[in-house]
Amino acid sequence: MANHSLEAIRNAVPAILPSLLLCDFGDLKSEVARLVDAQIEVLHLDVMDGHFVPNLTYGMPIVEGLRRHTDLPLDVHLMISDPLEYAKPMADAGADLLTFHIEAVHPEEAAETAQRIRELGVGVGVALNPETPLSTLARCLPMVDMALVMSVEAGFGGQEFNPIALEKLRAIREQYPDLLLEIDGGIDTSTIEPARQAGCDLFVVGSAIFRQDDYGRAIGALSEAMTSRSGEQQEAPRS
């Protein structure tokens, strides 16, 4: 089944993805409208179970609620212990791409996990934390649509960028020239460009957007920084 939303994510590259973790959940519909006004094309949803990571966020009801109010592709980051337990409910709720953490499965089960998620008709990504060696992804990278390289330990926004992520991005890009690459954690106007130069396609941003009053201005600055050296043209968001 052609996954049109996955194509939409690919077509958005290079893209800034606001991470829905530090946003105002008491006014989510308006928050999404503000992001759409800033010409955001993909949303990143941080699902945490309080077990795989020491933080608890939200599940299918929020995904369903977002699905009702936006057609933007929903890139769902599963920071949960048993990704296959919730993959189908999340896909049914409206997720377009489901990313599981390699640390949450047995390495020899990662390829099968990816395959079973893809069979749900959604895109599949695999994520790894800064301390996790790239070698753990070897068997499942050929099975996924995206690799999510964490530049912070999964669990919280507002952490400091870990440059180990840049080495991993370069190594994956060299071996998989067409794989979607995403980076997540500590992305701001000073770290987004090195990540782009390392071959990254999708840039998840939390505090560098949601801790600013003017989302359009923040996203415009990030977009400019992202393409500063590569000279790629980006449409300036309406402020």
The residues assigned a catalytic role are 46, 184
Radius of gyration of the chain from its Cα atoms, rounded to whole angstroms: 16
Q: Are 99 and 35 in contact (CB under 8 A)?
A: no
Q: Any bridge partners for residue 19, and if so which?
A: 44
Residues that bind ligand DX5 (CB under 6 A): 19, 21, 44, 46, 77, 79, 152, 154-159, 184-187, 204-208
The 96-135 contact track toward Zn ion, x by CB under 5 A, reads ----------------------------------------
Query: How far, in Å, CA of 138 to CA of 135, rounded?
Result: 5
Place of tokens 């337990």: 85
10, 38, 46, 52: which one contacts Zn ion (CB under 5 A)? 46
Q: What are 7's two structure tokens?
A: 């194509």
For Zn ion, the binding residues in 157-196 under the rule CB under 5 A are 184
**Considering beta carbons, is residue 111 or 150 the nearer one to ligand DX5?**
150
Among residues 111 and 155, whose Cβ is nearest to ligand DX5? 155
What letter would DSSP give residue 109?
G
Of these partners, Zn ion, ligand DX5, none, which one is at the site of residue 205 (CB under 5 to 8 Å by kind)? Answer: ligand DX5
Who contacts 144 (Cβ-Cβ below 8 Å, separation ≥6)? Answer: 114, 124, 125, 126, 179
* Minimum CB–partner distance for residue 94 and ligand DX5 (Å): 19
Least distance (Å) from ligand DX5 to the CB of residue 127? 8
Q: What's 58's DSSP letter?
A: -
List of residues contacting Zn ion (CB under 5 A): 46, 77, 184
